[in-house]
Amino acid sequence: MTESLAGQTVETVRRKLTARFKSGAIDQAELDARILVGAALGLDLTGLIAAAARPVTSDQAMRLEDFARRRLAGEPVARILGTKEFWGLPLQISAATLVPRPDTETVVELALEMLRAEPHPERRLRIADIGTGSGAILLALLSELTDAYGIGTDVSVAALRIARRNAARLGFASRAAFIACDFAAALSESFDLMVSNPPYIRSADIAGLAIEVRDHDPLMALDGGADGLDAYRALIPQAARRLAPGGILVVEAGHDQSGDIEELMTAAGLTQQKPPKADLAGIRRAVAGRKLPP
């Protein structure tokens, strides 16, 4: 049993929580403690500093104890808060969605670099995000390409509900649609840009993932089959059929998958005009192929 946090100052509580998280071997103990104290007290960073000497009420202490218990049990901060920032956009998440990762911003960056290097088409750009989860990639692209419209697909109806809600909250409802289907199977129009961060973890590697991922991200969002490439094998040929001439497919890759993905793209008739783009850790994270006009 840990001593009660009620009645102690905000600063003391923050330090105690940091210490508990450190002894619980939580990587970013200090950051996580600060965010959770802020959330339990309804204060941002500036508010927290201003309130440093204020005592914590028993309601606030109870809320914080609940957050701390969940974090120590391996639940990531984003799930405790129900929200995660991606590409500067606050996104709601749920048990049905992956927590969007900073690595995935590499997919957005490569797609934007390629689109911006070419003349803008007369018509509005059409985008599809395959396995959209919270809607992260699609909504980031819509925030940059202000007259584009896009469709997100997912097999999880519960994830699509969150994606739709995120689109509405961010003001993109009129430019975003979401449909439940297997990868791109139900898409009938053609797209200028298709993106995907599919499940790509080898089934046998899932047991060894960090508890934050293994026990909290949906298995359906992670499991890429025996060699991790099942989703690419299914979605790359489907996407190649749905790309407009000149259209681009950009997918996220696992740490050692970019070569295999390039081969799958080539086999589906897509051409590599740009090398894979590395993430901040130097991993080839985003792979692009283009459907050349006939």
Q: Least distance from C-beta 182 to ligand SAM, angstroms?
A: 5
Q: How far apart are CA 197 and CA 281, in angstroms?
A: 18
Instruction: Tell me: does residue 257 bind ligand SAM (CB under 6 A).
Output: no
CA 195 to chain centre: 13
Residue 213, contacted partner among ligand GLN, ligand SAM, none, CB below 5-8 A by kind: ligand GLN
DSSP class of 67: H
Instruction: Tell me: does residue 197 bind ligand SAM (CB under 6 A).
Output: yes
CB closer to ligand SAM, 133 vs 150: 133
Site for ligand SAM in 112-131 (CB under 6 A): 131
Q: How far apart are CA 231 and CA 108, in angstroms?
A: 19
Q: Least distance from C-beta 72 to ligand SAM, angstroms?
A: 25
Per CB under 6 A, the segment of 51-59, 166-174, 193-201, 241-249 that binds ligand SAM is: 193-201
Q: How far apart are CA 259 and CA 241, in angstroms?
A: 21
The dihedrals phi and psi of 266, each to the nearest 5 degrees, come to -60, -45
Q: How far apart are CA 125 and CA 292, in angstroms?
A: 17
Q: What's the Cα-to-Cα distance from 192 to each of 23, 97, 242, 289, rounded to whole Å? A: 50, 26, 9, 12
Residue 137, contacted partner among ligand GLN, ligand SAM, none, CB below 5-8 A by kind: ligand SAM
Which of 220, 237, 278, 283 touches ligand SAM (CB under 6 A)?
220
Chain positions contacting ligand SAM, by CB under 6 A? 98, 100, 104, 131-134, 136-137, 153-156, 159, 182-183, 197-199, 220-221
